[in-house]
């Protein structure tokens, strides 16, 4: 039985917060490297299992984000009933089917009903759901549902555009294909003019998705 020196000192703050079993991830990576014919003890790979454990702690940190701590009292009573839009929120996620990245931008809008959310919290909500094993369709819906339930607004709209490396690197290998998903609640679903205003706002000056 070949031995491997695991790094049992994966006690940095990131791993501690993540709850990930660093030793178990290392064991799995060592077995994977052996399965593809590599030597996990060679110089270039000997620290790879520990690196991957730390990487997964960051990439999958969304599972253990406390939504209450995330919002952190950043709800404010404001007399404003026009659209609030945060566009071009970059995100990075892992496709749950192949554990390969998908990378894109989220556009998030809501119409307040007496309360607004602190500006920085909307990108944090996107990250909370992106940093999990995901499918884009579910992630889009989760963001919209979370904001609907939190703010009780007149409406919520989310559009996500992403490049999926599981389609670019393997399979059909279509390098320029992009996927767009949307989720709408309230006024954005019921009112064509409101929905059109949102879509025109995110299309205006849109940057091409390049990675």
Residues carrying an active site annotation: 95-98, 136, 164, 166
Nearest to 9 by CA among 19, 23, 28, 20: 23
As to burial, measured by CB atoms within 10 angstroms (0-12 exposed, 13-18 middle, 19+ buried), residue 158 is buried
In the three-class reduction of DSSP (H, G, I as helix; E, B as strand; rest coil), residue 195 is classed as helix
Backbone φ and ψ of 24, nearest 5°: -65, -40
Say if residues 186 and 157 touch (Cβ distance below 8 Å): no
88: Cβ contacts below 8 Å, ≥ 6 apart: 105, 107, 207
Rounded Cα gap, residues 88 and 95, in angstroms: 20
Rounded Cα gap, residues 89 and 85, in angstroms: 11
Say if residues 9 and 40 touch (Cβ distance below 8 Å): no
For residue 118, what are its two tokens? 């602190």
Say if residues 134 and 95 touch (Cβ distance below 8 Å): yes
């Amino acid at each position: 039985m070949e031995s491997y020196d695991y790094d049992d000192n994966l006690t940095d703050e990131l791993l501690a917060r993540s709850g990930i079993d660093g030793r178990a991830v290392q064991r799995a990576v060592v077995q994977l490297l052996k399965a593809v014919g590599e030597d996990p003890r060679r110089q270039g790979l000997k620290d790879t299992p520990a690196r991957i454990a730390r990487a997964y702690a960051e990439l999958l940190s969304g599972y253990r984000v406390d939504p209450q701590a995330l919002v952190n009292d950043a709800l404010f009573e404001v007399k404003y009933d026009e659209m609030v839009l945060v566009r071009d929120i970059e995100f990075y996620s892992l496709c749950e089917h192949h554990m390969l990245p998908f990378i894109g931008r989220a556009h998030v809008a809501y119409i307040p009903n007496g309360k607004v959310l602190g500006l920085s919290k909307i990108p944090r909500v996107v990250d909370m759901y992106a940093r999990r094993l995901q499918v884009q369709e579910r992630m889009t819906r989760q963001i919209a549902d979370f904001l609907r339930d939190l703010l009780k607004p007149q409406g919520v709209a989310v559009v996500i555009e992403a490049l999926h490396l599981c389609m670019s690197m393997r399979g059909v290998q279509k390098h320029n294909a992009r996927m767009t998903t949307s989720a709408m609640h309230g006024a954005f679903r019921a009112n064509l003019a409101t929905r059109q205003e949102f879509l025109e706002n995110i299309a205006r000056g849109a940057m091409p998705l390049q990675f």
